[in-house]
Amino acid sequence: MLCKGMKVATSLRCTVRERVLVLTLESDEGLPRIQRHILKEIGRRVERLDATREFGGCVITGTERAFAVGADIAELARLTPAEAYEFSREGQRVMRLIERSRAPIVAAVRGYCMGGGLDLALACHSRIATGDAIFAHPGGALGILTGWGGTQRLSRLIGRGQALEMLSTGRRLSAQEAHECGLVARTVPADDLLSVAAQLSRGIA
């Protein structure tokens, strides 16, 4: 449920591309944030994806500026300790739903992919990126660790040493660096991002 008077900065648009469900994070400013209602809606869509087998796969993507830039700090500041705990648990639940989905889920990344946005991309079965993509967990520089499984998934993908550096210092990886260390399956031109991601999802299926 949204707080009274709260401005909804991020929305989730659902479309279909060649029998692949495309979930697009959108915001007026082009910097989607993982707000509570967005997290729950992604969870509902993935549960339906598994239950109905209506689509052959799924792509999660964002705007031209960002895949997602993490949680909404202003929203988090209003949460009670109990609500914050529930938000963390819900994030873990949704990431597990994505990771364990029987339908291949591919993250199609442009621009910033940071914090909770990176956790979301890490939970997907594969990641495709454009050359301007940037990956980071900036919370480490603020003394905050991610709570949605990114510590485990990142280290499994790129190795313990590089993951420790990213998580503790906030180091940013370019798309090329992300590809070289195995975080990203491949980099593609922006115009091809969605088509390549949909093809990969169908191919895995």
Give the pLDDT band of residue 1 (cuts 50, 70, 90).
very low
Report the pLDDT value the prediction gives residue 145, as an integer from 0 to 100: 78
How far is residue 23's CA from residue 61's CA, in Å, rounded to a whole number? 6
Give the pLDDT band of residue 3 (cuts 50, 70, 90).
very low
**Does residue 205 carry a pLDDT above 90?**
no
pLDDT in tens, 144-201: 778 898 889 999 999 999 999 999 999 999 999 999 999 999 999 999 999 999 999 9
Report the pLDDT value the prediction gives residue 6, as an integer from 0 to 100: 43
Is residue 134 within 8 A of residue 111, CB to CB? The reply is yes
pLDDT in tens, 61-114: 999 999 999 888 888 889 999 998 999 999 999 999 999 999 999 999 999 999
pTM: 0.92
- Partners of 106 in beta bridges: 59, 126
**Does residue 2 carry a pLDDT above 70?**
no
What would the two tokens of residue 191 be? 């115009």
Report the pLDDT value the prediction gives residue 72, as an integer from 0 to 100: 85
Report the pLDDT value the prediction gives residue 98, as an integer from 0 to 100: 97
Q: What are phi and psi of 37, to 5 degrees?
A: -70, -30
- Partners of 60 in beta bridges: 23, 107
pLDDT in tens, 120-131: 999 999 999 999
